Amino acid sequence: MVRTAAAISGRYSRRRVELPQRRFCGSQHATWAGGQWTTMELTKLTEEEFDRFRTFIYGKTGIRMADGKITLLSNRIRRRLRDLGIDSFEDYYHQLTRDRLPGELEQFIDAITTNETHFFRTGGHFDWFSGAFLPELLNRAAEKKHDRSLRVWSAACSSGEELYTLAICIDEMLHRFGGWRISLLGSDISETMITAAKRGVFPDRSLEHVSAERRRKYFTHLPDENGWAIRPRLVQMCEFQRHNLLDPIAAPRQDCIFIRNVFIYFDRESKQRAVRNLIDALAPGGFLVVGPADGIYDLLGDLEKQSIFLYKKPL
């Protein structure tokens, strides 16, 4: 719906010299042009616009937005329009897909992805990592069946809590890893999440499952930021990079890959593509740790099932 703002707010037109070019209020969006304010109702994407955006999203990320997500996607894109001062979903689509907005693809991907995570999420996975995986690897190295090297990848790590949890588990046994080469890699499609992970400052709610003892040992409380900074020693143990799971990763083969809570919005084809890349990235004898709702159990080919969340690549 388009209507002149003069009809809505004479106040704006009388003081026009001092006014900015654009104004936003709720889902309304006003632009000063031709001597008057024009407002547009940025309600919802049309079905056609929704289809175009979701085809674009699928091609870039593998995420398939379900039919019922039109309101969710409209709300998220509307925020980008407001930040950029763009008047219509259609205009934004054209500028985005024709690469006319530098850096916007990253912002757009940030806006549409869900980054929920926290330390020690699904604690049983970390009990296995500390209680079985690390001790077995130490034994295999002692028997000269494995190098004194450990490579772990948190694929789709969001703001880094998953990888830092693994770093804590390793640090708690670090005295047994003298002389080892340890590589901890975290990756995510979202540049904003990677920047946050590198910074290593987390809100209270991220630490809900972190014991008081671990808080004392591994975090510094930052009352001004209402958050917790992970100790620099752990930041130095971890490397973070932007990576799309639909592409193969350029990294040495991994002893263990955590891939959790990411495939919920992928369809079968994009899951298949990403899972193939993950299996290729695993070293023989390496383990894949899978999230409870990721729905990839039937795509894991030759991997041997160890338990509901754990799959091993044959030696």
Ligand X SMILES: C[S@@+](CC[C@H](N)C(=O)[O-])C[C@H]1O[C@@H](n2cnc3c(N)ncnc32)[C@H](O)[C@@H]1O
**Placement of tokens 């894991």 in the chain:** 300
Size of the site for ligand X (CB under 6 A): 24
The single residue among 134, 245, 290, 310 that binds ligand X, judged by CB under 6 A, is: 245
At 204, the amino acid letter reads D
Helix axes 70-84, 89-97, angle to 10 degrees: 80
Q: Single out the segment in contact with ligand X by CB under 6 A; choices: 71-79, 127-135, 154-162, 295-303.
A: 154-162
Q: Single out the segment in contact with ligand X by CB under 6 A; choices: 4-12, 167-175, 242-250, 279-287.
A: 242-250
Among 310, 315, 285, 314, which Cα is nearest to 296's? 310
Interactions with ligand X, residue window 88-147 (CB under 6 A): 113-117, 121
The single residue among 77, 141, 184, 262 that binds ligand X, judged by CB under 6 A, is: 262
Distances (CA, A) of 173 to 83, 118, 168, 202, 214: 47, 22, 9, 24, 14
Nearer to ligand X, 156 or 234 (CB): 156
Shortest Cβ 170–ligand X spacing (Å): 18
Shortest Cβ 247–ligand X spacing (Å): 8
Interactions with ligand X, residue window 267-286 (CB under 6 A): none
**Placement of tokens 């899951």 in the chain:** 271
Interaction of residue 294 with ligand X, rule CB under 6 A? no
**CA atoms of 287 and 153, how far apart (whole Å):** 11
Interactions with ligand X, residue window 38-97 (CB under 6 A): 61-63
Interaction of residue 193 with ligand X, rule CB under 6 A? yes
The single residue among 39, 74, 190, 254 that binds ligand X, judged by CB under 6 A, is: 190
| Cβ 189 vs Cβ 109: under 8 Å | yes
Distances (CA, A) of 97 to 101, 175, 244, 314: 9, 51, 18, 42
| Cβ 79 vs Cβ 43: under 8 Å | no
Interaction of residue 254 with ligand X, rule CB under 6 A? no
Interaction of residue 260 with ligand X, rule CB under 6 A? yes
Nearer to ligand X, 39 or 61 (CB): 61
Interaction of residue 158 with ligand X, rule CB under 6 A? yes
**Placement of tokens 């985005």 in the chain:** 96
Q: The dihedral of CA 87, 93, 98, 101: what is its sign?
A: positive
Binding site for ligand X (CB under 6 A): 61-63, 113-117, 121, 156-158, 162, 188-190, 193, 244-246, 260-262, 291
